[in-house]
Amino acid sequence: MSDHFVAAIDLGSNSFHMIVARIGDGHVQVLDRLRDMVQLADGLDSHNRLSAESQQRALECLARFGQRLRHIPANRLRIVGTNTLRQARNSAEFVARAEKVLGHRVEIVSGQEEARLIYLGVAHSVADIPGQRLVIDIGGGSTELIVGQGFDPRHLASLRMGCVSMSRAQFADGRVTEKRLRDADLLVNLQLEPLRQDYLASGWQTVTGASGSIKAIRDIVVGEGWSREGITLPSLRRLREELLREGDTAGIAWRWQIEPARARVFVGGFAVLHGICEALAIEQMEVSEGALREGLVYDLLGRIRHEDVRDRTIAEVTRRFGLDETQAKRVSTTALNLWDQIKGTWHLAGDETPHVLERAARLHEIGLLLTHDQYHKHGAYVLQHSDLPGYSRDDQYLLSALVRYHRKSLPAKAFADVSADWQTVAAKLCVLLRLAVVLHRGRGRDPLPTIAARADRHRLRLGFPAGWLDEHPLTSADLEAEARFLHKAGFELRLTVA
């Protein structure tokens, strides 16, 4: 039964959210939602380090979430961290502790990937419309703006401002003044300035807001009768007047019965939304109940159905960089053939492992766009610093590292910086990728002979038909050179006659 359930956790800068859903007949039925206003961003000090207190709050929340996840398989669950964990200098320390508490892997996603997932969650949570939609999500440390159509996001931006960071910057003592609100508007406009004209030019028919801050604002303006539904620009202007009349967060919380944790960041969230609506002339906004965690569920559903957005990303990168798809196919086919033969003895089985190897093989020549000399290093840089929809920061670094070390030297600690659960696997996948690249170095159309692969521990034997290596002396020399590279990395390669 557990295979019918999926779950997602959003480790946001203000709140942690968990959603558990059941998949039946292709439909997603939400069974449980949990939320805790951990306010992780409030624990960042002046050196961008998470305090011990904020980490403890977060871990206690995750312990509660973890109890609900005990029967969810790892491949049916995604846990992602957002802006605060992108910023925190000690995020790796916290993530390691979080993974221990949850018993599952935690991914940190880029701002662009966060925006994509938010749009996906919103698009599945509101009625479809003709034309384009602008989605606004105000988190604790970042605000995402996405213009898209249907389920396809077209313009994505992640701005480094949110309800927690704005509250700390302008309203730390709880006082609300005209000058502080004007200063907050200026900060919003400075963030929007580089993209404002492009977004206005893109055009949209509907604006949809998502996030706790926007929902809290909606509840007030509708409850007061300033808006019939959703949020209007006049209702925001009226709310601004009332916030100034109250003058501090204590009065605001009492008047509208806002929970204390939300009240501390309410004015900051309002300032961000008000500034965006004024700058982009947004007159009317609907509010979505779905956001990042729902997007994670639908993205996970796509992976389960083999409609993985990462495959579309690889195809788009291949097209954009004009890669030799025929050569990439040769290399990936051979690499996967070797993997299939030794996956058991080298402990490489698993749903993700062959996909990682195949995608690295398809992109291994991406650096040739810049230069042939050291192209593996250029390719790794491009992959590490590009926006790759569907990829977490760790997954992107793993792909980059495999491309970086697919040729030339292979240090023993080449993969020391990839996530701990991939280090040993990555080194072995890299060996298979390197061998496939060597075997197809001549870029010939003639198929390779049947190659028998056997492995144990750090030894790999490749068996060739009698006489084949003698007939292909360049390949034989390349394999001997490769054996020397692998030896320095702690692997032993032997060539035999099958």
Model confidence pLDDT, tens digit, residues 236-294: 999 999 999 999 999 999 999 999 989 999 999 999 999 999 999 999 999 998 899 99
Q: CA-to-CA distance for 233 and 282, rounded, in angstroms?
A: 7
Query: Which residue spans within 233-375 are E strands per DSSP?
Result: 284-287
Of the chain, the percentage scoring pLDDT greater than 90 comes to 83
Q: CA-to-CA distance for 62 and 49, rounded, in angstroms?
A: 20
Answer CATH for 2-109 from 3.90.650.10, 3.40.50.720, 3.30.420.40, 3.30.499.10: 3.30.420.40
Q: How far is residue 104 CA from its own chain's centroid?
A: 16
Asked, colleague to colleague, whether 126-288 and 323-497 share their fold, the answer is no
* 179 touches 171 (CB < 8 A): no
Determine the 3-state secondary structure of 107 from DSSP. strand
Q: Rounded to two decimals, what is the model's pTM? A: 0.85
Q: CA-to-CA distance for 217 and 215, rounded, in angstroms?
A: 5
**CATH class of segment(s) 323-497:** mainly alpha
pLDDT for residue 304: 77
Domain spans of the chain? 2-109, 126-288, 323-497
What's the CATH number for 126-288? Answer: 3.30.420.150
Secondary structure of 154-209 in the HEC alphabet? EEEEEECCCHHHHHHHHCCCCECCHHHHHHHHHHHHHHHCCCHHHHHHHCCCEEEE
pLDDT for residue 303: 82
3-state helix, strand, coil in the chain (%, to 5): 55, 15, 30
Neighbours of 70 (CB within 10 A): 8
Nearest CA-CA partner of 438 in 408, 468, 458 = 408
Q: Does residue 409 come out as left (phi exceeding 0), alpha (psi in the -120 to 50 range) or beta? A: beta
Q: CA-to-CA distance for 142 and 36, rounded, in angstroms?
A: 18
377-395 in b/e form (b: 16+ CB < 10 A) is bbbbebbbebebbbbbbbb
Residue 126 half-sphere exposure toward CB, CA atoms < 13 A: 27
* 299 touches 390 (CB < 8 A): yes
What's the N-to-C CA distance of the chain in angstroms?
46
Where do we find the tokens 């401002």? 161
Mean pLDDT, the chain, as a whole number? 93
pLDDT for residue 26: 63
Which stretches of the chain score pLDDT less than 50? 1-2
* 128 touches 286 (CB < 8 A): no
**Per-residue pLDDT tens digits for 115-149:** 999 999 999 989 888 899 999 999 999 999 999 99
pLDDT for residue 1: 38
